Structure formats: C-alpha cells, structure tokens
Amino acid sequence: MKKFFAKHSRDLVFSGVIVLCLCLIIVAVLLLNQYADVLSEQSEIKVELYTKETTETLNEHLKQLQGLTDSAAIYVEKAHSGDEIAGTLREACLNREDLGTGLFFRYFSGETEYNEYGELFSASGFPEDAAVLAAAGSGKSVCLGTVYDSSSNQKRVAFCAPVKNNPMVDTVVLFCPLHEIKDFREDLNAEKLALTEFLAFCDVKDGYILDMLYTADDYHIAANANVLDELRKITNSKETVDLIERTIQQSGTAVIPATVNGESYAIAVGGGADGSGLCIIGLYRNASVYTSGYQFMNVILTSIAILFAILIFFAIYLVVTRRMMNRKILDFGTEDPVLHCPTSLKFEREVPELLSRYKGTKFAVVATSVRHFGYITETRGEQAAEEVLRFLTLIFGKTLQTGETFAYLSDSGFALFLHYKDTSLLLNRLRGLHALAYENSNARKYNIILEFGIYEIDREQPVSPHKMIERAILARDNETDDMRNHFRLYKEDYFESYMQNADIEIQMEQALENDEFKVFFQPKYNIATDRIDGAEALVRWYDPKKDVYRSPATFLPLFEANGFITKLDRHIYYKVCEFIGMRAAQHLKVCPVSVNISRVTVLQPDFLDYYVSVKKKFKIADDFITLEFTESVAYENYEMLNSITTILHRNGFLCSIDDFGTGYSSYNILKVMNMDEIKLDRFFISRGTNENRDKLILESVIHVAKQLRMKVTQEGVESQESMEYLRSIGCDVVQGYYYSKPLAMLEFIRFLEKGDDNGKTVSAAGMDMPQ
C-alpha cells in the first residue's frame, strides 16, 4: 500500500486536483442553475408587469372607443333626419386619429340597418355580422369584439350603444379596423415593445392574429396566422399551448414559462376587457427581458466554460505528454544509433507479439555473426567494419518477410526471427543469405563469412526471447561442431554444457583458493638406464563434496578460453617446486618433474620472471624442471618460443615439445627448435591401422631426434610389447599406464620411496636432488 502511494503520488495529486476542480465547477453550475431560476422568475415578473401595462393600454383604448360610441349615441338623440344622424356619426369619427383612422358607424332603427351615409345597408347587398345584429337589438352599450365586416371584407372590432328618445335610430355601432389601431401601438412603450420576440393582438375565439404589434427579425409570422399554431411550432410543447388556449378563452392574464431551443422564455397572455374578445399574446426571451442578470450569468458561465476548457486541455496535455514520455522511455534503446536497426530490446519485445499473432506458424531465432570480424576491424579499420555491419543490416532488413524481425546485438552479431516450414527450407534460406552476403561483400573485397546458430522455437516449452537468442548464440559459437559448417542447429546438450561451463567459471577462483586443484605425478621410465627418469605433473580438480577428482579434459579447454589456465599453470608449477624444494631440503628422494605450460601461459609478459623466480625461491637445482610446450605453440611462433627456451636454458630449465605428431608435425620444427626432449603423442603406438606406415614415421622421428641430441619420450605406453618395441628402435623414455598411472602426491612419495607394486620398476634411490 505504502509502495503504491509512493509510486503513484504524483498521479494521485494530479487526479485529486482535477476531481476537486470538477467538483467546484459542478457546484458553480448548480448554483448558477438556481440563479437562472431566479432570473427567470425575475423576468417573468417583469413580463407580467409589462403585460399588465399593455393590457391596460389596450383596455383604455377600447374604453375610449366605447366612449366614442356612447357619446355618438347621445349626439344622434337630437338628430331629426337620417342625413343628420349619418352626418353626426361621421363627424364623431373625424379628428379621432388618436383612436385610429378608418373608424365608421352604422346605425339601426329596429332591425333596419343604415350605413354611415344614412343609406340602407341592406341595399349594399352585404350581410351584416350576426353578432352585430344580435347586439343591435340588445339595447346595451357593449364592445362586441371582432366582427366580420363583409362590406370591407375585413375583421373589425365593433362597439354598440343604444340611442334613447329618437324614433329614427335605436342603436349605433362603431366599426374599428384592426390593422389601424395605430394609436394603441403608439401608446405602448416602444422600448418595452422591442424586448418582445413578438407581440400579437389576437382573437380570443380562435387565436387568430388580428394584428402584429411587433415582430423581432427572427420571427416571420403572418398577420392572419394562428398564434396558437405558431407557439406550438416555437415551443414544441402542447401542454404550454393548451394552457395558453384555456387562458385566452377565459380572458385571463398569465405569464407562462416556456423553453425554446433550451433557452428560457415567457409567454404573456393579456386578456382584453370583458366581452372585447381581444387579447394580447407576447413571447419574451428572458435573457432579453432581464438583460443585466443574464449578462452577469453569461459572464460567469463563460468563465466556467473557459476554466473547464483550460482544465480539460491541461489534463489532456498532461496525459498526452506523460504518454509520450512513457513511449519515449519505452522506445529508448530500441534502435541502434549507428545502424538504425532494431536492438535486442525491441526484438525481445516484438517476438512474443509475433508468436501470439501467428499462432500456427513455426518460428526460429537465428543468431548470426561475421567470422573473423576482429580481423576486418584490425586490417581495414573501424569504418570498414561499420560498413560491413551496415551492409548486413541492409541485407537482413530487405529479405525479411511479414511477421519476421531482426536486431543487431553486438560484436557483429545479429538475431533474426524467421518463420519456416521445415528445417531444410530454413537452412536453404540461410544459405541464400550467406551467399548474398558473401558474393556482394566479395565485390567490396571484404569476403564476409557468416556463421549461423539456429534455435527452433518449441511452443510446447516456451522460453523467453532472451533465452532464445542465448541458445541461438550457443549453437553459433559451438566449437565442438565442424567449423566448416556455417549453420549449426541448437541441441539441448549445448545448453547443458553451457551450464556446466558457467558452473565451472563461477567456482574456479574459489576452488583455487580452497586448494582444490591437486598435483598428480606420472612417473616416466628410462628404458636405457632401467630407472625412473622423472615424472610429469598433471592437474586434477578435487571435488570435496563428492570426493572425486575431475580430469583436466572437463575444465582445461574452458580455462584456456577464459585465461584462467595461466593462474592454474602457475599454481601447479608452484606446488611442484614447493614439493621438490621441501623434499630436497629434508634430503628425501625426489626426481625431475615435467610441468605443462599452456599456450596462453607462455604469452604472458611476466612468464619468464615468474617461472625463474619460483625456481629460485625453492632453490631447485638446474635441469630438474622440464617445461612442456605443445607442438602447436612451437608451430605458431617458433621464433618467440626459441628465444624463450634460450632464456629458460640459461636459467637451468629443460624444455620439451609435447604432443608431437598431433597436428602440425614437421621435422623442420625439430631442427629449428632448441628443445631438450620430444614427447611423442600416444597415437604413434595406439593406432592399429597402417601399422607399418606409423612405425616408419616413428622410427624416422626417433632417428631425427637422436641426431639432434634430443631425448625421445613416448607417451601412453600401455603394454610391455610396446615398451620392448620402443626400446628396440632407440626410444629413451616411456610414460604410460604400463609403468605407472598418474599418482596422487602421497602415492607418488610412496612410489619414490619403494618402487611400484609389481617390483617392475627400478628404485628411485640415487635420485637425490643434486645440491
């Protein structure tokens, strides 16, 4: 838990800040929402007040028209003729532009109707509106609301008033054209009018718009349209419109909230005076009505929106930069900076992906490298070596198929991840690659020889891509196989030997400190003198846990490869000198001892210093230590070895050439080398085939050696027969199981003291170390 917090503390703080900001924004939005309700209420109150004002203005106007009608009725009381009545009524309308132009009267005497010129209205042939006819007989002073005037084909508002005491006229009716209620409009506050979206003067009976008092630019509403239909379209709410319909039918006054495109609006309904049949319906955008409040809210809303946007941007920015950084970290080291090809890191990442993507496909990891790459670097320079690698990168990159990949590892090594049907086809493909590299590089005079190690992936026993590469490399570098074969398939025992080697390398230093490397002595027998000639010191690695001795073959090749052999050679040599020195000091029997010197040991710059100083330290007599150099060392660099042997001779060492006949056998070596002894390899006497030819060679080698005054020692003599034969051809010394096996130090001491168990050997007496 603690670890989790420590690892993610930055993320947690960042998320915390984001959440906190979001909470604050949510709270602010909620508060603003409430404030928006308050704003709506406020603007509705304003709308209500304004509607009241408008309605009052309308009613005042209607009242004045009714007053005009009533006073006209009083004027016509005194009229004596139809003309006089008509004239009075016409005069009443004159100069009343304040109430609207186009006003006119008609009057009734009983059921007979006359127009404003005193002519019979029925003569005009137009029917009178039923409401007018009904009101004419009622004897009431009343507004009739909208009536249809067929003579002018217009809707008009009609007012009627009874005329008393005149037998020629009973009722006067004032007709007021709707579209000319100019003065009513003028009475309205123009500023407030402009706050509305539209303000319509409507008929309560059906909701038809009698006149548009105001329309904002956004609204295109025809003057004779139905206001309810329009509102239905605008608000999209049947409920709201039904409520409006009920309100106008009851001549009520109300402010009904509505939402248009998510914005808050108010619909104001103002009923005209009773019976007028008129109402005013207005649509108000609350934000326009209560501008300051909404502006304030908008500022805050915009600020919150900007804040939110910044927050989101910031969060996205952080997430993106983090991702990019993670990607960069992830990508770091996935491309070789010089060759611009994938590295092992990328390879190891890609291999599992490809394996899971192509489930049914067989894949192999191939490790390849240039043989003698160091030689190219040394002779042609680093630039040329780099060119070779670039060239290989190009070849590998171009020949890859879909689902394959490759990487540069190090030291001219590449890893290829290839799919294949069967091993022979894969080998063919690699042969093609090899030829391509060889031929093309040939043109550039590099002669690239590639070596391939192939690990065929076993899906049943999955291993990590790193291990796959390791195994392919193990196969490539396996020297036990024929070096002429450039294509080596990984075998399970490679891994075992690799593990064994690793185990040995881990233990070797400690083993040296723990004195686990023991010296064994194998006595040599001098055929001519019939006495012990000396002994060869041979190393054994003692395993205290198992109480066994490991033979040198199991660890020496590795020590030669890793350089540890030098330490071991010196250790054995030191032990030998110590043994001889101590026994000599106590005047005990000793014999000359041969010590093996590996190729690596000779090449050490302080080789001579060390060997000479130890000899001096233990006061070893001259000619008592023989150093054995293998034939291969002599062959590789006989000049160097010659100068070394010269110095060794000067310091009282004898020199021997070991394993003669194993590879480079050349009589020339014998002639040019300044050696005291030649040790013939066991194969001279062990091989059954071609016996005559071998004998011939052996005899001539002994002959040459004798001429050169070298002592001839035959190794691996296992039978009396061999010994007798060797004696017959002039061999001086034999070493082998027939005489004695290599003996542990105590056994060897016993051997020196008594001779061997069979009594075949000569006594070691008289071999006291010369003082």
Q: Give the binding site for Ca ion (CB under 5 A).
A: 596, 628, 658-659, 715
User: Which of the stretches 154-162, 301-309, 550-558, 761-769 binds ligand C2E when contact is defined by CB under 6 A?
Assistant: 550-558
Amino acid at residue number 14: F
Binding partner of residue 539 among ligand C2E, Ca ion, none, CB under 5 to 8 Å per kind?
ligand C2E
User: Which of the stretches 236-244, 285-293, 458-466, 709-717 binds ligand C2E when contact is defined by CB under 6 A?
Assistant: 709-717
Phi, psi angle pair for 622, to nearest 5°: -60, 155
Judged on CB neighbours under 10 Å (0-12, 13-18, 19+), 306 is exposed
Q: What is the dihedral of CA 95, 99, 102, 105, to 10 degrees?
A: -90
CB of 665 to ligand C2E, least distance (A): 15
Give the tokens for residue 302: 């915009």
| Interaction between residue 683 and ligand C2E (CB under 6 A) | no
User: Which of the stretches 15-23, 250-258, 308-316, 734-742 binds ligand C2E when contact is defined by CB under 6 A?
Assistant: 734-742
How many Å apart are CA 421 and CA 427, to the nearest integer? 11
CB of 595 to Ca ion, least distance (A): 9
| Interaction between residue 88 and ligand C2E (CB under 6 A) | no
CB of 659 to ligand C2E, least distance (A): 6
User: Which of the stretches 249-257, 458-466, 585-593, 716-724 binds ligand C2E when contact is defined by CB under 6 A?
Assistant: 716-724
| Interaction between residue 658 and ligand C2E (CB under 6 A) | yes
Q: Kindly state the helix (H) or strand (E) to which residue 112 belongs, with its residue range.
A: strand 112-114
Q: Does residue 198 contact residue 114 with C-beta atoms inside 8 Å?
A: no
Phi, psi angle pair for 341, to nearest 5°: -130, 165
| Interaction between residue 716 and ligand C2E (CB under 6 A) | yes
Phi, psi angle pair for 326, to nearest 5°: -60, -40
Amino acid at residue number 715: E
Q: For ligand C2E, which residue of 59, 441, 522, 714 counts as binding (CB under 6 A)?
A: 522
CB of 341 to ligand C2E, least distance (A): 43
Nearer to Ca ion, 54 or 522 (CB): 522
CB of 736 to Ca ion, least distance (A): 11
| Interaction between residue 539 and ligand C2E (CB under 6 A) | yes
Q: For ligand C2E, which residue of 162, 270, 552, 592 counts as binding (CB under 6 A)?
A: 552
Cα–Cα–Cα angle for 165, 170, 175, rounded to 5 degrees: 130
Q: How many CB atoms lie within 10 A of CB 282?
A: 24
| Interaction between residue 655 and ligand C2E (CB under 6 A) | no
CB of 723 to ligand C2E, least distance (A): 11
Contact flags string 594-613 toward ligand C2E, x per CB under 6 A: --x-x---------------
Nearer to ligand C2E, 54 or 596 (CB): 596
How many Å apart are CA 686 and CA 661, to the nearest integer? 13
CB of 614 to ligand C2E, least distance (A): 14
CB of 653 to ligand C2E, least distance (A): 16
Q: How many CB atoms lie within 10 A of CB 622?
A: 12
CB of 605 to ligand C2E, least distance (A): 18
Nearer to ligand C2E, 354 or 745 (CB): 745
| Interaction between residue 523 and ligand C2E (CB under 6 A) | no
Nearer to Ca ion, 99 or 673 (CB): 673
Chain Cα centroid distance, residue 461: 28
How many Å apart are CA 105 and CA 59, to the nearest integer? 20
Binding partner of residue 522 among Ca ion, ligand C2E, none, CB under 5 to 8 Å per kind?
ligand C2E
Give the tokens for residue 89: 């009524």
Could you identify the residue written with the tokens 């330290």? 617
CB of 686 to Ca ion, least distance (A): 12
Q: Kindly state the helix (H) or strand (E) to which residue 720 belongs, with its residue range.
A: helix 720-728
Q: Which long-range contacts (CB under 8 A, 24 or more apart) does 310-318 make?
A: 311/18, 311/21, 311/22, 311/25, 315/18, 318/14
CA distances from 375 to 379, 384, 442 (A): 6, 11, 16
| Interaction between residue 569 and ligand C2E (CB under 6 A) | yes
| Interaction between residue 538 and ligand C2E (CB under 6 A) | yes
Q: For ligand C2E, which residue of 551, 690, 719, 728 counts as binding (CB under 6 A)?
A: 551
Write a three-state SS string for 586-621: CCCCCCCEEEEECHHHHCCCCHHHHHHHHHHHCCCC
Instruction: Summarize the chain as % helix, strand, coil (round to 5).
Output: 50, 20, 30
Q: For ligand C2E, which residue of 296, 317, 375, 737 counts as binding (CB under 6 A)?
A: 737
| Residues of span 610-649 touching ligand C2E by CB under 6 A | none
Query: Crossing angle of helices 607-617/638-650, nearest 10°?
Result: 20
| Interaction between residue 129 and ligand C2E (CB under 6 A) | no
CB of 498 to ligand C2E, least distance (A): 22
CB of 727 to ligand C2E, least distance (A): 16
Beta-strand runs (E) in 334-433: 363-370, 405-408, 413-419
Nearer to ligand C2E, 538 or 752 (CB): 538
Q: Compute how many residues bind ligand C2E; rule: CB under 6 A.
A: 22
Binding site for ligand C2E (CB under 6 A): 522, 538-539, 551-553, 556, 565, 569, 572, 596, 598, 658-659, 715-718, 735-737, 742
